[in-house]
Structure 1
Amino acid sequence: MLQWDAPNYFYFLLLIPLMMMGYSFLLVWKRNAKKRFGSPVLLEALAPRHSAFKTHLKFGVLLLGISALILAMVNPKMGTELETVKREGVDLVFAVDVSKSMLAEDIAPNRLEKAKRLVSETINKLSGDRVGIIAYAASAVPQLPITTDYESAKMFLQALNTNMLSSQGTAIAEAIELSKTYFDNENQTNRVLCIFSDGEDHEEGGELAAKTAAEEGITIFTVALGTEKGDVIPIKRNGVTSTFKKDAEGEVVITRMNTTILKEVAENTNGIFLLGDNTSEVVAAITNRLLEMDKAEFEAKQFVRFKDQYQWLLAIGLFLICLDLFLLDRKTKWIRNLNLFNDK
């Protein structure tokens, strides 16, 4: 297998046909100049040792040398051996609550941004595990399918916001049910759903959904965001708070963290419940628990190990250019003395 390290340098090969054209024009010009100077017999007598063949040979050697140097700049790499790389880890799906209550600022900078930071920091600690992302409010929608591309995961994570779902509320059961579609092997024991929410569940069924998830081998971690005292939900324009969310009676809504449902969901699946106020503690607790879990082999890929080959082309190019410098356009002595037609 062959690949090129710097293919842009291939454009320099266009110099070769240009040099050939220039050389052809030079030969035509010399031929016309010789005709004006004298007859071919006279010119042969004046320069008996000149060899047209060697002139062409010198130019051909020069072209080959330049071509080799250009190819050395491109740096071809030859695949010399196959290397098998196996990935082992846990399937980890993050379900992030994007309901309006997650805009409350009782935990800095707000509940949603704190959740995104916790997920991002957790991803930074992973190695070999696959991750997926779900956004949910009154319904749940997939954001990123299960993948080992952590950079893409963090990019999709930062795009989460409270305006992405029109139906408001918090339905943990919806997130749990959707997470089941992320896991491709029902026999896996290393499937984890990590829910980040303030726990204000406006729909029933979260506990039941957790029990059915446990039966299917899914472990659920829950991270509670906010405070029990609660806070208002700011409505901002251009980054400045203009008012606060109000209920149907016109009263300002106070949203409070509810840990009850989050604890029940975690307990029913042999998971862990965490308070999300301390980033390092949450990340450490999640990653430590993941380390204790059985790892599954996700994929075994064969990669070709490539080695640089430019040094050979560089050596050939320099040799040919040096050879061109030492080649003379005179006839070789034994050829000059050869008389095939017995000329007197």
Structure 2
Amino acid sequence: MELDEKKYLYLLFILPLIVLLFLFNMYWKRKKQKEFGDLDLVKRLSPESSVFKPVLKLVVMLLAFAGLILGLVNPKIGTKMETVKREGIDIVFAMDVSKSMLAEDVAPNRLEKSKQLVSQILKQLGNDRIGIVAYAGSAFPVLPITTDYSVAKMFLQSMNTEMVSSQGTSLDEAITLSSTYFDDKSKTSKLLILISDGEDHSEGAEAAAEEANKLGMKIITIGVGTEKGATIPLKRNGVVESYQRDNNDEVVITKLNKPSLELIAKTTKGGYVNGNNTKEVLEYIKNTLDNIQKTEFEATQMADFQSQFQWFLGFAFVLLFMDVFFLERKTNWVNKLNLFNEDK
């Protein structure tokens, strides 16, 4: 059984409060009756008054309230089990979050454009598992392999140039970390989609790509930026305060390094695509995925839960309807039973 809205369970604490109010009311009535006169005399003056009926009305009301609360909680019962088989590939998105990705030669800037591209790619995926890696001067795992695309989109939108402390662009570390996301023993196809402006400040990107190729990985590189280049604006509250400068206090011009990205892709028999054109990227990725062999990587039993709130609400309304007809005077057949020894 699964509870849809567990927060409403706290309303069950109202039930003991109702019982306490009932007991206090009974005590108050008895006290007032004593003040009025002798209890035996009071009972004789109201022979039809029942002790049993108020208790019965309390029980009915408690059950009705409990039914209403359980209806709000909406218990769900699994009535059907089915086996779901998934076929797809494992995909890791390695995203460049270095300062150079703040350049605005691609609107609104290279980093935001990269996020838009990944978000659009996710929309055309099926049952593929995905992971996300961020990198600048070093690589950082953002999201492990998962099939939850909504979580992936949430992590994607939170990515920024401050999440990796060491600056620069280390493509080799991005490739190496991404390779750890894949299971070496699995026969599932492995695809790394590397998004960057290609400005590599480290050595060994080609060597890392060769190692990835040995593991059966294919790398698609997406170049974001222009070969003409642009400055890197440093903003505060959306206002440009200055521009990124190098050690010689010269304004940095960051340019798209297309050859570097093409070489990485070629090493793994992958491909390079211009990230400035969203349509071109989506078509290229779609064609690539259509030509990659998909394998069954998961078989999960899933319960088809069905809501049961209507039964509890129906039960509660029936009890409330019955409560209207419960009077506090004695019922003849119950009176004959003398359950509470009311007749003396």
Category of TM-score, reference length = shorter chain: 0.7 to 0.9
Partner of 1:195: 194
- Residue deviations 1:35-72 (CA, integer Å, cap 9, x gap): 55555665555444544334433443343334333333
Pair 10,92 (structure 1): closer, same or farther in 2 beyond 3 Å = closer
Per mean C-alpha deviation after superposition, the further-off stretch among 260-269 and 230-239 is 230-239
- TM-aligned CA deviation for residue 125 of structure 1: 2.5
- TM-aligned CA deviation for residue 7 of structure 1: 3.6
Partner of 2:312: 313
Partner of 1:161: 161
Q: Secondary structure at the match of 1:199?
A: coil
Partners of 1:94 and 1:194 within 8 A in 2: yes
Cα distance in 2 between the residues matched to 1:59 and 1:203: 77
Partners of 1:73 and 1:310 within 8 A in 2: yes
- TM-aligned CA deviation for residue 148 of structure 1: 2.6
- Residue deviations 1:47-101 (CA, integer Å, cap 9, x gap): 4454433443344334333433333333333333334434332211122234444
- TM-aligned CA deviation for residue 330 of structure 1: 2.0
Pair 270,33 (structure 1): closer, same or farther in 2 beyond 3 Å = same
Partner of 2:232: 234
- TM-aligned CA deviation for residue 263 of structure 1: 2.0
Cα distance in 2 between the residues matched to 1:322 and 1:162: 63
Cα distance in 1 between the residues matched to 2:42 and 2:31: 13
Cα distance in 2 between the residues matched to 1:142 and 1:11: 39
TM-score (norm 2): 0.81
Partner of 2:95: 96
Partner of 2:141: 142
Unaligned runs of 5+ in 2: none
Cα distance in 2 between the residues matched to 1:310 and 1:118: 43
Partner of 2:210: 211
Partner of 2:330: 330
Partners of 2:61 and 2:320 within 8 A in 1: yes
Pair 69,141 (structure 1): closer, same or farther in 2 beyond 3 Å = closer
- TM-aligned CA deviation for residue 181 of structure 1: 0.8
Pair 76,107 (structure 1): closer, same or farther in 2 beyond 3 Å = closer
Per mean C-alpha deviation after superposition, the further-off stretch among 6-15 and 86-95 is 6-15
Partner of 2:129: 130
Cα distance in 2 between the residues matched to 1:284 and 1:180: 25
Identity among equivalent positions (%) equals: 47
Partner of 1:119: 118
1:47-86 equivalences under 5 Å are 47-86=46-85
Unaligned runs of 5+ in 1: none
Instruction: Say whether 1:279 aligns with 2:285.
Output: no
Partners of 1:189 and 1:218 within 8 A in 2: no
Please tell me the residue identity of whatever aligns with 1:314: L
- The aligned length equals 335
TM-score (norm 1): 0.81
Partners of 1:235 and 1:244 within 8 A in 2: yes
- TM-aligned CA deviation for residue 243 of structure 1: 4.2
